[in-house]
Amino acid sequence: MAATIRDIKKRTGLSLATISKYLNGGNVLPENRILIEEAINELHYEVNELARGLVTHKTKTIGVLVYDIQCLFVGSMLHYLGMELHKKGYGMLICDSCNDEKLQKENLQFLLSRKVDGILVFAVGMHGKFLHAAKKANVPVVLVDRSFQDEEYDCVEVDNRTAIYRATNKLIENHHKKIAVIASNIEYTGRERVKGYSDAMNQAGLEIPKEYCKLGRHSFEHGYRGMKELLELEDRPTGVILGNYNTMLGGIMALNESGLSCPQDVSLIGVDNLPMTQVLRPKLWLIVQPMETMCEKAVAMLLERVNGEQNGMPVKISFSTSVREGDSIRDLG
Amino acid sequence: MAATIRDIKKRTGLSLATISKYLNGGNVLPENRILIEEAINELHYEVNELARGLVTHKTKTIGVLVYDIQCLFVGSMLHYLGMELHKKGYGMLICDSCNDEKLQKENLQFLLSRKVDGILVFAVGMHGKFLHAAKKANVPVVLVDRSFQDEEYDCVEVDNRTAIYRATNKLIENHHKKIAVIASNIEYTGRERVKGYSDAMNQAGLEIPKEYCKLGRHSFEHGYRGMKELLELEDRPTGVILGNYNTMLGGIMALNESGLSCPQDVSLIGVDNLPMTQVLRPKLWLIVQPMETMCEKAVAMLLERVNGEQNGMPVKISFSTSVREGDSIRDLG
């Protein structure tokens, strides 16, 4: 027979009101807190979070909408978000949008019907209209990694434009003139990165041949095909910027197969220091996002909204990226 | 002001009992169902799944315990499980055990406190004792991919021993004698696979030098280091079995860096036809698990238990694997 709140009353001698207040996260006197926690442990009392949710109007569950649960970057971010939410006593209800905006909208409805306390969004595309339903339901939202072109929400990202501007300049400093980019152009982050590339090239007075811009989906396949095409060009680039982690792995695989080598034939700079990067040779130059910090911040921002500690206008937080030095850039000077 | 069940009553002229029965998933007359659904749409009535959960004792939420959310195989399985659960109106509450048995146990408690209807488990290790708490709470469990050495639960997996027995024989048929394996030995599935390798080698009367068995964690790094060590052996193997997807990618990366090539210098056979496999050259021989079917079956088994349609003893379902032909095995005959 499972222990009830009345058993805790009997054991502690405290009122049901006090015990109930404790169970619902309210403040009780420290000595009462100790008594209650001892009783909970001894009696193996288990809180019914569901029943608690109806009383507190909180489910202690955060919805997470991801554009693609198979993406390596997303997997790592979920790892950090999960650890941070776990620390705070929250669970993650994860929905995979499979890179499909229609499914993303359905998933949002699903999360709202589950009365999640807040939602973290890795958005599929550039438009935020689908989130109006969350606004209407008063459920706070924090965007992670990708913001929108048309709507403002709390958002945690990196300064993507500056990041790739810096990557491009690293190649320019090493006297490269023929620089190509392989990146995503279907969402905000990818587009910002391409702008950073153009900014740096224009500023240095370098030409951008159309065939040096390989734009497409955020995927391994896009990186593989893009690199293959670049290496087959008659006037092939001496340096290539690999605009995201999946694309980077695909690009390296294509280079490995080509018989050409890095940095002798092609110099490379990529994004994100994830597990596979650490065993690649030559050691890659990388733009590194502070993934763990981004996740901590996203959770903190969301919980402030959930707990009503923050009611102001949306805030966008752009972390800076750092550069990890490697051996993948050849100095042509 | 949000619509209530009373607004639906007013609009449809039906009794609260009928409407409530519909909302809780009960059978109502088809004409009443149509009336209610029209009213729900017109009034933008949103079901409070939380309140419904307290009435029906169902949360329509399935807990998923994964050993490592960053693992590529796990990411793909979550993709298929998520789609299948979504179809049936269930959400996934995912907890990442970070390959840590202590965290896995805590995560289970967390899922139980959320009153999930059932739990899918990708187990960290070989022991099932931590699941006793789920049994006690009467929450059904289905293991996916990895079963236990010491306890029986419903389980969906592939016949791992036969799968790698078959992979090994594929190399033997092509007149290989010096065959190595890189695999995981920290969980049940990995160990079964190694047994399949030993079975085939013993049956063919082939020797297994100790240095040909690279056993360790289920990781990219293990594959990378294992392959590097194999290729540096004075008497290096002519064929290598790559025992899981992460290990396979690491092994291929090491081979690419070595200057040796496949299948001229080393023949390869791997496991799992996931996205990255499709762009690798030479085309790999692969043991293929029916991942989508496994996920459908796991969800079906779990929901049968959840809905009380199945109360029998635990059942283990082992799907057979298939072999995808490739160009990565050289005939030495």
Say whether residue A257 is in contact with chain B using an 8 A CB cutoff: yes
Region label for B295, one of left (φ > 0), alpha (ψ between -120 and 50) or beta (otherwise): alpha
Give CA–CA dist B166/B333, Å, rounded. 19
The confidence score (pLDDT) of residue A279 equals 65
Q: Provide the strand spans (E) within chain B.
A: 61-66, 91-96, 118-121, 141-144, 154-158, 179-184, 213-216, 239-242, 267-271, 285-288, 316-319, 322-324
Beta-carbon separation of B75 and A70 below 8 A: yes
Q: With respect to residue A12, please indicate whether it lies within any of the assigned structural domains.
A: yes
Average of per-residue pLDDT across B291-305: 96
pLDDT of residue B48: 62
> A82–B61: do the CB atoms touch at under 8 Å?
no
Mean pLDDT of the region B194-215:
96
Give the pLDDT score at A224: 92
Question: Is B187 inside a domain boundary?
Answer: yes
Residue B146 has what pLDDT? 92
Are A91 and B70 inside 8 Å of each other by CB? no
Residue B241: partners with Cβ closer than 8 Å, 6 or more residues away: B164, B167, B168, B171, B179, B180, B181, B182, B183, B197, B269, B270
Residues A273 and A249 placed together within one structural domain of the fold: yes
Q: Taking 70 as the threshold, does the pLDDT of residue B186 lie above it? A: yes
Distance from first CA to last CA of chain A, Å, rounded?
79
How many domains would you assign to chain A? 3
A145 vs A98: CA distance, rounded Å: 17
Q: Can you tell me the distance from the alpha carbon of B277 to that of B286, in angstroms, rounded to the nearest whole number?
A: 9
B/e letters for A10-35, b = 16+ CB within 10 Å, e = fewer, are ebbebeeebbbbbbeeeebeeebeeb
Same domain? For A146 and A259 the reply is no
- Residue B82: its chain A contacts at CB < 8 A? 69, 94-96
First and final CA of chain B: distance in angstroms? 79
Give the C-alpha separation, B243 to B214, whole Å: 10
pLDDT band at B45 (very low <50, low <70, confident <90, very high): low
pLDDT for A36: 83
**In this structure, are A70 and A45 located in the same domain?**
no
Give the pairing type, strands B322-324 and B285-288.
Answer: antiparallel
Does A148 reside within a domain?
A: yes
Evaluate if residue B328 carries a pLDDT over 90: yes
- pLDDT bucket at A20, cuts 50 / 70 / 90: confident
Name the residue among B53, B70, B82 with its Cβ closest to that of A76. Answer: B70
Query: Do B227 and B306 fall within a single domain?
Result: no
DSSP state of B320: P
Q: A262 with A167, same domain?
A: yes
Predicted confidence at residue B121, as pLDDT, reads 97
Interface of A with B in 193-252 (CB under 8 A): 219-221, 224, 249-250
Q: How many percent of chain A have pLDDT more than 70?
A: 94
Q: Alpha helix (H) ranges present in A66-219?
A: 72-87, 101-113, 132-136, 160-173, 188-203
Q: Which residue has the tokens 């029916």?
A: B290
Beta carbons of B141 and B154 less than 8 angstroms apart: yes
Look at A323 and B53; give whichever has higher pLDDT.
A323
CA angle B68, A306, A105 (to 5 degrees): 65
| CA-wise closest residue to B72 among A249, A238, A193, A230 | A249
What is the percentage of chain A residues whose pLDDT exceeds 90? 67
Nearest CA in chain A to B56: A50
pLDDT in tens, A63-115: 999 999 988 899 999 999 999 999 998 989 899 999 999 999 999 998 998 88
Domain, as residue range, for B50: 5-56
Does A47 have pLDDT greater than 70?
no
Structure confidence at residue A138 (pLDDT): 94
Same domain, B276 and B301: no
Instruction: Tell me what pLDDT residue A278 has.
Output: 67
Name beta bridge partners: A66. A96
Question: Does residue A331 sit within a domain?
Answer: no
- Confidence band (pLDDT; 50, 70, 90) for A24? low
Question: A55 falls in which pLDDT band (50, 70, 90)?
Answer: low
Does the distance separating the beta carbons of A49 and B114 come in below 8 Å? yes
**Cα separation of B112 and B128, whole Å?**
16
Going by DSSP bridges, is the β-strand pair A322-324/A285-288 parallel, antiparallel, or unpaired?
A: antiparallel
| Mean predicted lDDT score pLDDT of chain B | 90
Final residue of a structural domain among A56, A80, A99 = A56
Q: Where are the beta strands (DSSP E) in B24-60?
A: none
Same domain, B154 and B298: yes
Could you tell me if B151 and B254 lie in one domain?
A: no
Q: Are residues A74 and A44 in the same domain?
A: no
- Nearest Cα residue to B79 out of A235, A72, A194, A251: A72
Closest CA–CA distance from residue B253 to any residue of chain A (Å):
7
Q: How confident is the model over A155-178, as a mean pLDDT?
A: 96
**Residue A1 scores a pLDDT above 60:** no
pLDDT at position B28 is 83
- Whether B326 is in a domain gets the answer no
pLDDT of residue A332: 96
A115 vs B50, B71, B254: nearest CB: B50
R_g (Cα) of chain A, nearest Å: 25
The predicted pLDDT at position B53 comes to 61
What tokens appear for A306 in the block? 């959930």
CATH of the domain at B254: 3.40.50.2300
CATH of residue A11's domain is 1.10.260
Nearest residue of B to residue A106, measured between CA atoms: B86
**Are A304 and A211 members of one domain?**
no
What is residue B268's three-state secondary structure? Answer: strand
Residue burial B23-55, b: 16+ Cβ < 10 Å; e: rest: beeeebeeebeebbeebbeeeebeebbbebbbe
Is residue A205 domain-resident? Answer: yes
> How confident is the model over B272-281, as pLDDT tens digits?
988 777 667 7
Supply the mean pLDDT for chain A. Answer: 90
Instruction: Name which of B55, B70, B95, B280 to mutate to probe chain A: the one with the most chain A Cβ atoms within 10 A of its Cβ.
Output: B70
- Shortest CA gap A115–chain B (Å): 7
Confidence of residue A52 (pLDDT cuts 50, 70, 90): low
Q: How far apart are the C-alpha atoms of A283 and A324, rounded to whole Å?
A: 10
The answer to whether residue B330 is domain-embedded is no
Question: If pLDDT is split at 50, 70 and 90, which confidence band does A307 have?
Answer: very high
Cis-peptide into B263, omega within 30 deg:
yes
Residues of B in contact with A74 (CB under 8 A): 75
What is the complex's ipTM, to 2 decimals?
0.75
With 90 as the cut, is the pLDDT of residue B26 above it? no
Same domain, A253 and A208: yes
d(CA B108, CA B133): 8
Q: Domain check: are B169 and B151 in the same one?
A: no
Question: What is the rounded CA–CA span in Å between residue A99 and residue A83?
Answer: 25
Does the structure show a pLDDT above 70 at A243?
Answer: yes
Beta partners for B94? Answer: B64
pLDDT digits (tens, 9 = 90+) for A111-142: 998 889 999 999 999 999 999 999 999 999 99
H or E element that contains A64: strand A61-66
* A31: pLDDT strictly greater than 90: no
Answer yes or no: is B123 within a domain.
yes
